Amino acid sequence: MIKIIDLSKNYNGLLALDKLTLSIPESSIFGFVGPNGAGKSTTLNILTGIILPTSGEIKILGYDLKKKSIDIKKRIGVIPEILALFDGLTGEEHLTFVGKVYGVKKNILPDRIKELLDFFDLTSAKDRLIESYSQGMRKKLAFAASIIHSPDVLFLDEPFENVDPISRKKMKEVLNKFKDKGKTVMITSHSLIELEDLCDEVAIINKGKIVFQSATKDIRSKIKDKITKETYQSLEEIFLDITKHDGIEKVKDLSWL
C-alpha cells in the first residue's frame, strides 16, 4: 500500500529525513514513533502531499506520488499535525464540505454525516461553530472528516491526543474495521502503550532514519543483550534504549526540586 525509497528532506541545510526507506502492506495498522523533531510529521506531510521531498521515491496504492498525486489524494484520509478545520463553520457544515470535496454521493452524504456525529457524540454540537469546540471535540471531528469518504489509506498524526477514553476506544474499533476491509493505516503517537496494543507493526525514527522496525507481536521477545539474554518488556523500553534519549541521560534532576 505504501512504499518509500530513499526519502530525504532538507530544510536549508537541516536534514529532517535521511534516505528513509519503508514498506507498509495492505490490511495493516502501522505505528510510526520517534522523539520530537525526529521526522515523523515531516514524513506524513510528504506522503499526504502537504510538502515536497528533496529526493526519493514514494508509491501509494501502486501510484507514483509525483505523477498521480490527485488520484492518490482522492483515496486517502488525513489527520495532520495541525488540524485542518474551518473554525467559521459548524461541525455539520464542515463534514458536509469535506464530504462534497471527496465526492461522497448526495443521497449518501446526509446519513453518513448524521451517523458520524452520533458515533462521536457530536450531535448536540453539530450547529455550533468549530471555534467553540474543545480540543477533544476538534480531534473527533477531524477523525470523522478523515474517514467520511471511506478511504483506502489513512495517515493519522496523534489522533488520540486530548480524546476521552470512550471515544479513543471507538476510534480504535474503526481503525480495526478499516484493516479488516483490506485498508491501511499509518499512525504516529507518543502513546507507545496504545500503539503497541493497536498496531501490527511499528517503526522508530530518530534523526531522520529508521532505527528499529518490528511486528508488535515480536517486541517482547527481542534480545537486548547477547550475553545476559535479557529481553525487552515493552515498546517504550525499546524506544528509550534505541533512541538513547539525551534528555534522560544528561538531565538527572532539577536543581530546585
Residue 221 CB partners (closer than 8 Å, separation 6+)? 231
Torsion of Cα atoms, 43 then 44 then 48 then 52, to 10°: -30
Per the listing, cell 479513543 goes with 168
CA torsion angle 224 228 234 235 (round to 10):
-10
Query: What CA–CA distance (Å, rounded) separates 128 from 131?
Result: 8
Grid cell of 191 as nine digits: 502513546
User: Could you tell me which residues are beta bridge partners of residue 15?
Assistant: 10
- 113 residue type, one letter: I
**Nine-digit cell string for 33:** 514513533
pLDDT given for residue 159 in this prediction: 95
Domain boundaries in the chain?
76-150
| Helix/strand/coil for 109 | helix
Side by side, the strands of the sheet bearing 201-206 are 76-79, 153-157, 184-188, 28-33, 201-206, 209-215
Would you state the pLDDT for residue 68?
95
pLDDT attached to residue 225:
55
Instruction: Note the Cα 244 to chain centre separation in Å.
Output: 23
From first to last of its 257 residues, the chain has per-residue pLDDT tens of 999 999 999 998 899 999 999 999 999 999 999 999 899 999 999 999 999 999 999 999 999 999 999 999 999 999 998 898 999 999 999 999 999 999 999 999 999 999 999 999 999 999 999 999 999 999 999 999 999 999 999 999 999 999 999 999 999 999 999 999 999 999 998 889 899 999 999 999 999 999 999 999 888 776 665 555 666 678 888 888 877 755 555 556 777 67
Q: Contact at 8 Å (CB) between 17 and 187?
A: no
* pLDDT at residue 232, as a whole number: 65
Q: Which amino acid is at 1?
A: M
What residue type is assigned to position 32 of the chain? F
